[in-house]
Amino acid sequence: MDCVTIKAGQPCNFMTKKGCSFNGGRCHEIIDKCEGCDRILETESGRYCAATPNPEAKWRTGTCNLATHVKNATSGGKTVKINPIKASKRGMRQ
């Protein structure tokens, strides 16, 4: 269903025929860590996340997995341990 409370016209998984079923009956505003994200919706009542109703909970355990402005750390300089027995068997096949 589409939201009719705060993010009017936006698809929302928490909207029911009785209204918003999220904790407290409404979405929470974004926090400072969300600044720069492409998922921010600006409405008359404030700035909200288009992907989650409680952005603070997404940042509680570290980086938000939905944030578009944060780049994930990859294993760029990480060395991988290779099993020498398997490596020698691979070399024998060639």
The pTM assigned to this predicted structure is: 0.65
Taking alpha carbons only, the member of 45, 57, 56, 31 closest to residue 3 is: 45
d(CA 13, CA 20): 9
pLDDT digits (tens, 9 = 90+) for 15-39: 888 878 887 778 888 999 999 999 8
Position with higher pLDDT, 75 vs 49: 49
